[in-house]
């Protein structure tokens, strides 16, 4: 048995199946089968045995299609006293009162994917049955709100919705229980290869508009909504986080587990054998994990020598991958948020 590196970020892709067909889906080519419960528990034990705190995120596909596995894993974590911060990333369309109550009782943090006001969101995120994705997602968020469960919104940004980004801030205040917004700039993997990243100047303008609007609505409502990227920058500037602190894969501390038990360095690298680190049964190959970490660090050289690194914290390798040069729109977003620290 190989000695596994300590895992700080464990992501379980419970199923590659989804009831949505999103234009940019990174998981479009992930294995569709449901992860067996015993495999999910084995993966959690792999992370939990170090005794160190770790993030455990349920994702997919749509993880609520495998809610029974979520329950089994959560209760396994609790029974073993693992120091895990449990998160769920969902489209919320399958949310029920029972599920919402379970998430509340077991302190599972909820992130919901939403890309703008309904017309914009529905242009990028569609249900397989043809119904409005926005209607189903909003219904799910409202069920969470009824249980007083706060949520974070994840908004994928492409050239088609960047100029409408203030709409996601409006939606956040309209929904009432949103406490954080994160902008996920397009990665050119999966179906994302058919779309185009937003222009840097458009990203900078949209980010500034979103921040100003959020401050205006906070003054009117008393509700403070954080921006994920701005919070990261504030932690770096205050010394509470290091540069590239968000990239667990660079440090060999991330395990993305597909539903067939393979371990990859990152969700956006699934299917690429260069980033396959092992499997649940044999563990992560320490040498391959270090090799991948060194490769990612080397690929981010331009970030490392940038004079703004000490503020922005560095970019995301999977956004740079397959692009000529760096992802300029990411630099524009980070530099704009840095103005507001």
Q: Where are the domains of the chain?
A: 9-338
Measured distance CA(141)–CA(204) in Å, rounded: 28
Give residue 234's pLDDT.
92
- The distance of Cα 298 from the centroid of its chain, to the nearest Å, equals 23
CB 118 within 8 A of CB 131: no
Give residue 4's pLDDT.
54
Give residue 1's pLDDT.
44
CB atoms within 10 A of CB 281: 10
The sign one gets for the Cα dihedral 89, 91, 97, 99 is negative
Give residue 188's pLDDT.
79
Q: What is the DSSP letter of 10?
A: E
The strand pair at 84-90 and 109-113 is best described as parallel
- Each residue's pLDDT expressed in tens, for the chain with a length of 341 residues: 445 568 999 999 999 999 999 999 887 778 889 999 999 999 999 999 999 999 999 999 999 999 999 999 999 999 999 999 999 999 999 999 999 999 999 999 999 999 999 999 999 999 998 889 999 999 999 999 999 999 999 999 999 999 999 999 999 999 999 999 999 999 877 788 888 999 999 999 999 999 999 999 999 999 999 999 999 999 988 888 878 878 899 999 999 999 999 999 998 899 899 999 999 999 999 999 999 999 999 988 888 888 888 888 888 888 888 776 678 999 999 999 999 98
Q: In what order do the strands lie in the sheet with 178-185?
A: 226-227, 178-185, 151-157, 109-113, 84-90, 54-59, 9-13, 254-257, 262-264, 276-279, 283-284
CATH-assigned architecture of domain 9-338: Alpha-Beta Barrel (3.20)
Tokens, residue 134: 């926005």
CB 197 within 8 A of CB 186: yes
- Which residues are registered as beta bridge partners of 109? 87
The sign one gets for the Cα dihedral 301, 274, 19, 131 is positive
pTM, two decimals, is 0.94
Give residue 237's pLDDT.
87
Q: How far is CA 262 from CA 34, 57, 87, 161, 286, in A?
A: 13, 16, 21, 34, 15
Phi, psi of 257 (to 5 degrees): -100, 115
């Amino acid at each position: 048995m190989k000695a596994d590196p300590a895992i700080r970020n464990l992501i379980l892709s419970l199923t590659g199946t989804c009831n949505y067909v999103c234009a940019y889906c990174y998981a479009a080519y992930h294995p569709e089968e449901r992860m067996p419960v015993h495999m999910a528990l084995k993966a959690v034990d792999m992370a939990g045995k170090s005794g160190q705190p770790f993030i455990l995120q349920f994702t997919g596909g749509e993880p609520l299609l495998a809610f029974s596995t979520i329950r089994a894993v959560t209760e396994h974590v609790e029974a073993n006293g693992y120091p895990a911060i449990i998160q769920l990333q969902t489209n919320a369309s399958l949310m029920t009162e029972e599920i919402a109550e379970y998430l509340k009782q077991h302190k599972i943090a909820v992130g919901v994917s939403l890309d703008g006001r309904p017309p914009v969101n529905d242009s990028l995120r569609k249900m397989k049955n043809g119904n409005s994705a926005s209607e189903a997602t909003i219904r799910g968020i409202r069920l969470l709100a009824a249980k007083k469960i706060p949520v974070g919104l994840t908004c994928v940004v492409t050239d088609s919705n960047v100029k409408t980004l203030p709409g996601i801030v409006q939606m956040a205040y309209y929904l009432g229980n949103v406490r954080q917004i994160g902008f996920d700039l397009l990665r050119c993997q999966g179906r994302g290869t058919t779309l185009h990243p937003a222009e840097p100047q458009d990203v900078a303008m949209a980010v500034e508009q979103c921040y100003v609007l959020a401050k205006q609505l906070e003054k009117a409502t008393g509700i403070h909504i954080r921006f994920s990227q701005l919070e990261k920058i504030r932690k770096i500037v205050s010394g509470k986080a290091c540069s590239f602190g968000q990239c667990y894969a660079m440090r060999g501390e991330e395990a993305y587990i597909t539903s067939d038990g393979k371990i990859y360095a990152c969700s956006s690298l699934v299917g690429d054998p260069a980033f396959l680190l092992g499997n649940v049964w044999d563990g992560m190959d320490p040498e391959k994990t270090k090799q991948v970490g060194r490769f990612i660090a080397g690929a981010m050289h331009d970030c490392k020598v940038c004079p703004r690194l000490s503020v922005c914290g560095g970019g995301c390798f999977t956004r740079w991958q397959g692009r000529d040069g760096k992802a300029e729109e990411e630099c524009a977003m980070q530099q704009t948020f840095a103005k507001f620290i």
